[in-house]
Structure 1
Amino acid sequence: MSYLDQSLGQLARRIPGATRLFDQHRLDFCCAGNRTLRRAAQEAGLDSEPIVHELHVLQLRIGEQADRDWSQATDLELVDHILTRYHAVHREQLPELVRLARRVEHVHGDRPNCPLGLADHLEAMALELESHMRKEELVLFPMISQGQGVRADMPISVMRMEHESHGEELRKLAELTNDITTPRDACNTWRALYLGLRTFREDLMAHIHTENNILFERFAPAQIH
C-alpha cells in the first residue's frame, strides 16, 4: 500500500522517525491520526512528494546494511559506519523521544501505567551519550583513523566502562516502561513513543556491540574473567 493511502497513525506506529517528520510539517498524527497522509497533506496545503520521500528514507534505514559482515570492514569503513549509522541517528532519535515522552506524561500522567519520569531519564541519557560520542569523535576515532589504534588502550578502556553505564540506563528505561510494553488502549503518540524506544534500544545495543566486539577488539581485547 502506498504511504499516501496509509493513515498518519499507522505510519507513526510503524516507521521510527515518522513522528518527527510529521511534527516538522505540523501534521497531527495523534488526535487526527485516522486521516490518510494524502488527505492530511491536501488539507494542510503541503506537497506530499517530499514527505513520501523522507518516509521511504526512514523505512530503508531500518534494514540498511543489515546483512553486511562488519568484522571484514577496514578500520576507516567501520569508524565511518559507526558515525553515520549510530552517532548521527542517536542525535535524531533522542530529542524526538524526549518530546513524545513529555507529551505522554502531560496528557496521561494520571494513569497508573504512565511512564512518569521517562522524559527526564531520556534527557539524562542524551547528555551522557552525547558526551560519550564526542570523546570518540575528538580523541579515539582520530587515533584509529591515523593508524594509532594500538596506542588507544586507555581511551578504549574508558569507552568500555561508559558502555556499561549505558547498559544500566537501558535497564532503568525498561523498568519505567514495563519493558517498553505498549498498553492496549494507548494513543498514537504513546505507541509512536514506544516504537521509537524499541528502535533506540536496538540501535544502542548494536552500536555498543559493534564497538566493543568488533572495533575495540582489534586494538585492546577485552579481558575475560
Structure 2
Amino acid sequence: MNSTWCRFKKGPSFYLPGAFPLQMHQMTAPNARGGQLTAFKAFLCDSFYGVAFIGAAELSIKHQLVRDLVGSLVGASDIFRRYDIDFYRIGGLTLWQAAARQAVSVDLLSADLSGLPLNPASPPASMMGLITFIDTRYHNVHRKQVLSAIRLAKAIQLSPKFAHTIPLGLGNLLTLLFDTLEDHQLHEEEELFPAMVNSPQHTLTFPVYRAVLEHDEISDQLDTLSRLTGGYAIPETAHRCVRLLYALCSSLDGDLRLHMHLENNLLFPHFIGEGALAS
C-alpha cells in the first residue's frame, strides 16, 4: 500500500478494565471518486512495550449478527450447518447469542469462522433485485435438484443389487419435500412476491408469517433428511450412484437453507419489521 496516499485517521479513545487506554484508528485511502475508502481497521494499544495491533474483526466477530456473517464470509453457512445452528431462522442474533442458544463453544465457532475468506459477491441490496435474484437463482434450481434426487433414489431402490445401500424411505421423504417446497414456491411466485412488488410499503404480516411457517416445515424435513443419511456422510464402499445421491441431497440442503436465509433475514424484514424473526 502506497504510503503517499494512505493515512491513519484517529478515532475515539476508550478503556478496557485493567488495560492501557485503547485508541481506534483506521487506515483510509481516496477511492476513484475522491472519497475515503477504509482499507484497514485496528486497535492501537500504547504501552511501555510499544504499539500492539489487535484486529478489530477478531475482537468483534462474536458480536456480529449471524446473517451478516453468512453474507460476508464464504462458507459460513456450511460451518453453521456443522454446528446445527439455524442461521436462516436466527439471523438477527449475534454469534454469542446463537452459540449460547445452541449450547456450543463460541470460541470454537468464532475460530472456524475467522479463517474464512471474505465473500466478494453479495445479494442485491434493493428489494426488487432481491426478489428477482431469489426467484431466478433458487426456485427452478430447487425443482431440478429435488426431482433429480427423487429419480436417482427410486432407481436405486428398484435395483435388487443396490436397494439396501440407501436408507429405507429416502425416496418417499424426497417426494414429500418436493411437494412441500412446490406449494411454498408457488405461493411466493403467484401471491407473495407480486404483493411485495405492487405494494412495497404495505405491511404483509400474515402472508409473510405464512411463508416463515412453511420455511419451518421445509427445515424440519431437511433435518429428517440429514438424520436419515447420517449427515450426508457417504459410506466408503458406496456405489457411484449412491455417492451422487448423497451429494445431491447435501447440495440441496445447503442451497435451501441459504434461500431461506435470504428471505427470512433480508427480504421479509422489509414487511414485518427488523428482528421480528430473531427469536
Equivalent AA in structure 2 for residue 110 of structure 1:
H
Please identify the structure whose Cα radius of gyration is greater.
2
Equivalent AA in structure 1 for residue 200 of structure 2:
Q
Higher-helix-fraction structure: 1
- State how 1:76-155 maps to structure 2 within 5 Å: 76-107=128-159, 108-111=162-165, 114-148=166-200, 150-155=202-207
Aligned residue for 1:151, secondary structure, equals coil
Q: d(CA) in 1 for partners of 2:120 and 2:199?
A: 27
Pair 76,119 (structure 1): closer, same or farther in 2 beyond 3 Å: same
Aligned residue for 1:180, secondary structure, equals coil
Pair 132,99 (structure 1): closer, same or farther in 2 beyond 3 Å: same
Contact preservation (8 Å) 2:149, 2:174: yes
Deviating above 4 A after TM superposition, structure 1's stretches of 4 or more consecutive aligned residues are none
Q: d(CA) in 2 for partners of 1:159 and 1:120?
A: 24
Tell me the matched-pair count.
Answer: 157
Q: d(CA) in 1 for partners of 2:277 and 2:215?
A: 15
**Corresponding position of 2:249:** 197
Q: Give the number of the structure with larger relative contact order, counting CA–CA contacts within 8 Å between residues 6 or more apart.
A: 1
**Corresponding position of 1:179:** 231
1:208 equivalenced with 2:260 (yes/no): yes
Q: What is the root-mean-square deviation of aligned Cα atoms in Å? A: 1.6
Q: How far 1:223 moved relative to its partner?
A: 4.7
Q: d(CA) in 1 for partners of 2:136 and 2:192?
A: 16
Q: 1:168-192 CA distances to partner (integer Å, 9 max, x unpaired)?
A: 1011101211111111111111111
Contact preservation (8 Å) 1:105, 1:115: no
TM-score (norm 1): 0.66
Higher-strand-fraction structure: 2
Q: 1:70-124 CA distances to partner (integer Å, 9 max, x unpaired)?
A: 2x5211110111111110101111111001111222332234xx21111110011
Picking from 202, 214, 221, the partner of 1:162 is: 214
Equivalent AA in structure 2 for residue 123 of structure 1:
T
Contact preservation (8 Å) 1:143, 1:149: no
Aligned residue for 1:179, secondary structure, equals coil
Consecutive unaligned residues of structure 2, counting only runs of 5 or more, are 1-118
Equivalent AA in structure 2 for residue 88 of structure 1:
N
1:74 equivalenced with 2:126 (yes/no): yes
Q: How far 1:67 moved relative to its partner?
A: 3.8
Q: d(CA) in 1 for partners of 2:133 and 2:150?
A: 25
